Structure 1
Amino acid sequence: MTDEQTRRDDRAHVFHSWSAQAQIDPPVIVEASGSHVTDDTGRRYLDFSSQLVNVNIGHQHPRMIAAIQEQAARLATIAPAAANDKRSQAARMIAERAPGDLSKVFFTNGGAEANENALRMARVHTGRHKILAAYRSYHGATAGAIALTGEPRRWASEPGMPGVVRFWGPYLYRSSFHAETEEQECERALAHLRDTVAAEGPEHVAAIVLETVVGTNGVIPPPDGYLAGVREICDEHGIVMIADEVMAGFGRCGEWFAIDRWGVVPDLISFAKGVNSGYVPLGGVVISPEIAATFDDRPYPGGLTYSGHPLACASAVASMEIFEDEGILEHVRTLGAETIEPALEKIAAKHPSVGEVRGLGVFWAIELVADRQTREPIPAAAVGAVAAACKERGLWPFVAANRVHVVPPCTTTAAEAEEGLAILDEALAAADAHVTA
């Protein structure tokens, strides 16, 4: 098909997610390589979004493509009831990289299904029904996952699944606890969580689910001690701790799993995105021995036709091998600490529209404000203007609410990161024009 036919068919027949259909004009992307994507006009963009913060290994990695091709030639698909080598190998390799004694993997097609099944496992394992989930969170768009989600995208799906109770997580820049330091924010957020558990009756609470590092809602790393405190509350009351690592895991924060930075072992980890960078849809849940044992002699009440799809698992195996062979985790830590963080600090000092920069690894957010004193968020039109200015200069950004997220592939070079940050520096003039004080 011609590019023009692609565009016509898209507008006539494709129903796009999270969009008012008549108000969008999707670009036609014709190729991608490494940290770049190219549209039908030949315009090449440096990808600072990793698409949906998932192409961690970069676009079109030749070893990934070869692994999928080889598997397709040998065994393209097989039902989940059968064992196959790549599914077994992927599960073992993921378990070997998971924290503590988490040792089994239930495969899904993506992150939302991973959270759905983690929720089901926790409820069946404990015999309880309530789930505590944070307001600043996104866990997916399927029925249970959107009910767990705290941000406004859940509103249209309400009333939803019963039993979900909200709590406020730590976020010092916009503290719900009137904290002035990270230590105060951690202490008060944990006290609030403990009070919420008590008010709901701990004997009714099956799980506390949280993004290890809050993703789409602001890239908010937890203060030191917070995750350990959540673990302590869970242990005290027999509550399952679910770490949603769909966005934060598999290299994004410079670790296999972001929670490793804080030395905490949850009971369940949901994953997707970076496990194979979306080359073939894949997600899953890493499971503790205690929860897995619940289903030794009791059938697990869930399943998917494509659970552990051979093509997806082959790409996951290849991805983990590439990460190790190419030293990608170490590269992410260095890139974040030596290139991205210093550049963002300079940007923050230069632009009055920047209220705060925060993050780690290749997982950062620039929070834009109209007034640094009141911290009033900048209007949506200003964020749109920044995004447009980025694209005009050849940078593909990731924007959410009043923020620009800096989330390039984990394989992005220091030179590419510097190029993208320089473009972003120029584009932020569009936000500065909306500063009121």
Structure 2
Amino acid sequence: MTGEEIKSMQKEYNLQSWSKQKGLNPVPVEKGEGIYFWDCDGNRYTDMSAQLVNMNVGFGNKAINEAIKEQVDKFCYAAPSYGVEPRAKLAKKIIELMPDNMGKVFFTNAGAEANENAIKMARMYTGRFKVFSRYRSYHGSSFGAGNLTGEPRRYPLEPGIPGFIKFFDPYLYREAIPFESEEAASKYYIAKLREQILYEGPDSVAAIVVETITGSNGILIPPKGYLPGMRALCDEFGILLICDEVMAGWGRTGKMFAFENFDIKPDIVTFAKGVTCGYVPLGGVVVSKRIAEYFDDNLLSCGLTYSGHPLACAAGVACVNYYEEVKILDHVKEVGKVLGEKLEELKAAHPCVGDVRYIGLFSAVELVKDKATREALVPYGKDTEGIMGKIIGKLKERKFMTYSHENMILVAPPLIITKEQIVEELVKLDEVLSIVDKEFI
């Protein structure tokens, strides 16, 4: 098929997520290699968001491709109750990468399903029904994960499920209180969370669920002491701490899992995306030894036809092995420094850039109308003029492919990107930010 035929057919028969369907213009992808992909007319694009922050190893990873082919030649599917070599190997590998308190893995097909099942497990284990999560969060769009989500993508699910409680993020750039330090901010936020738990009734709260580092909602990095304070709070009241590592996990921050940056041990960890880099869908829930032991004698009322799919687990084993063989964590730390330096230069140079936040290869550029007042370039949840879409369109014209959310531009390229490629691509972002300075503020 030609590129135009692909676009025409897709627009006629497919519903595209998170989009008004009229006027869509999908890029017809013909091939990909590394951080680049090509359309059917031979135009090369740079993937500066790792697609949906999941293709950590980029396109065309031979090790993962070969592992999938090898498993296809053996068998493609076996039900979750059967013994499958890659399923067993990947679960063991994941537990070995986790802190010493973690025990077993339940495989899902994606991040939303991982969060759905994590909530179910927490409720079964504790006998409690309330679950806390933050306003600036995204945990998936299925009904349970969508209720867990705090940002506007939860609205179509409302009125929601009873027991989902929201609390505020430590979003220091937009906080009205001028804290003297990160530690002081953390102390304040933890105290307010403790107060809210008391009002809700601690004995009714099963879990607190957090994106370890808030992803699409702005790369909000926890201030010093915040996550250890939350861990202590959970211990005080017998509440489970669930870290959503769907986006931040698998090397994105320079650690295999983002919570390792903050010296805590969660009770449950959810993951997806970078475990296979999208080559085959896979997600999962890692539970502590205490929780795993509970289900030795109590029914685990969770089940999915494709849990631990053999092709996905084969891809996962190859992917995790690849991370280790190429020392991806060291690479992310090294090139991440360059990304951070370049983003700080953009912040200093452009009136439209209010803040930049980054850790490893996980970053966001926050756009404002006025640096002094910090007024967001578009109102929260109400970009009625499509300003951010126009800005992303300007980047697309330069073959810099990423996405925006609220007033943020996400920059989260494949983890294999080089220093030279970062410098080359951020020249394009610089050009577009200059246009924003002139036309949108």
TM-score of the superposed pair, with normalisation by structure 1: 0.97
**Which digits, 9 at most, give the CA deviation of each residue in 1:183-222, with x for residues without a partner?**
2221111111111111101010000000000001000110
The 5 A counterparts of 1:296-375 are 296-337=296-337, 339-375=338-374
Seq. identity, %: 46
**Structure 1: segments with no counterpart, 5+ residues:** none
Counterpart in 1 of 2:430? 425
Counterpart-to-counterpart distance in 1, 2:224 and 2:434: 34
Counterpart-to-counterpart distance in 2, 1:424 and 1:11: 29
Contact 1:385 1:430 in 2 (8 A): no
Q: Which amino acid aligns with 1:355?
A: G
Residue range with higher mean Cα deviation, 219-228 or 171-180: 171-180
Contact 1:214 1:221 in 2 (8 A): yes
Residue range with higher mean Cα deviation, 374-383 or 209-218: 374-383
Contact 2:3 2:39 in 1 (8 A): no
Residue range with higher mean Cα deviation, 349-358 or 424-433: 424-433
Kindly state the Cα deviation for residue 100 of structure 1 after the two structures are TM-superposed: 3.0
Q: Which amino acid aligns with 1:318?
A: A
Kindly state the Cα deviation for residue 4 of structure 1 after the two structures are TM-superposed: 2.8
Counterpart-to-counterpart distance in 2, 1:182 and 1:308: 41
The 5 A counterparts of 1:3-14 are 3-14=3-14
Contact 1:175 1:185 in 2 (8 A): no
Counterpart-to-counterpart distance in 2, 1:411 and 1:321: 15
Counterpart in 1 of 2:419? 414
> In the superposition, relative to structure 1, how do residues 28 and 95 fare at CA in structure 2: closer, same or farther (>3 Å)?
same
Q: Which amino acid aligns with 1:287?
A: V
> In the superposition, relative to structure 1, how do residues 165 and 176 fare at CA in structure 2: closer, same or farther (>3 Å)?
farther
Residue range with higher mean Cα deviation, 22-31 or 268-277: 22-31
Kindly state the Cα deviation for residue 382 of structure 1 after the two structures are TM-superposed: 3.8
**Which digits, 9 at most, give the CA deviation of each residue in 1:334-379, with x for residues without a partner?**
1112x10111111111001000011100000110000111111113
Kindly state the Cα deviation for residue 385 of structure 1 after the two structures are TM-superposed: 3.1
Contact 2:208 2:239 in 1 (8 A): yes
Contact 2:218 2:364 in 1 (8 A): yes
The 5 A counterparts of 1:121-270 are 121-175=121-175, 177=177, 179=179, 181-270=181-270
Counterpart in 2 of 1:35? 35
Counterpart-to-counterpart distance in 1, 2:176 and 2:218: 15
Kindly state the Cα deviation for residue 292 of structure 1 after the two structures are TM-superposed: 1.1
Contact 2:183 2:226 in 1 (8 A): no
The 5 A counterparts of 1:5-84 are 5-84=5-84
**Structure 2: segments with no counterpart, 5+ residues:** none
Kindly state the Cα deviation for residue 423 of structure 1 after the two structures are TM-superposed: 1.0
**Which digits, 9 at most, give the CA deviation of each residue in 1:83-133, with x for residues without a partner?**
111000000001110123212100000000000000000000000000011
Counterpart-to-counterpart distance in 1, 2:439 and 2:353: 11
Residue range with higher mean Cα deviation, 173-182 or 192-201: 173-182
> In the superposition, relative to structure 1, how do residues 416 and 28 fare at CA in structure 2: closer, same or farther (>3 Å)?
same
**Which digits, 9 at most, give the CA deviation of each residue in 1:209-255, with x for residues without a partner?**
00000001000110121110010000011001000000000011111
Kindly state the Cα deviation for residue 19 of structure 1 after the two structures are TM-superposed: 1.1
TM-score of the superposed pair, with normalisation by structure 2: 0.96
Q: Which amino acid aligns with 1:206?
A: A
**Which digits, 9 at most, give the CA deviation of each residue in 1:135-176, with x for residues without a partner?**
010000111000000000100111121101110021100126
Contact 1:371 1:435 in 2 (8 A): no
Over 6 Å off, 4+ runs: none
Kindly state the Cα deviation for residue 435 of structure 1 after the two structures are TM-superposed: 5.8
Q: Which amino acid aligns with 1:165?
A: I
Counterpart-to-counterpart distance in 2, 1:351 and 1:371: 11
Structure 1 residue 388 corresponds to structure 2 residue 393: yes
**Which digits, 9 at most, give the CA deviation of each residue in 1:286-317, with x for residues without a partner?**
11011111211122111000000010001110
Count of matched residue pairs? 435
Counterpart-to-counterpart distance in 1, 2:182 and 2:298: 44
Counterpart-to-counterpart distance in 2, 1:420 and 1:194: 44
Counterpart-to-counterpart distance in 1, 2:28 and 2:83: 39
Kindly state the Cα deviation for residue 177 of structure 1 after the two structures are TM-superposed: 4.9
Counterpart-to-counterpart distance in 1, 2:227 and 2:321: 29
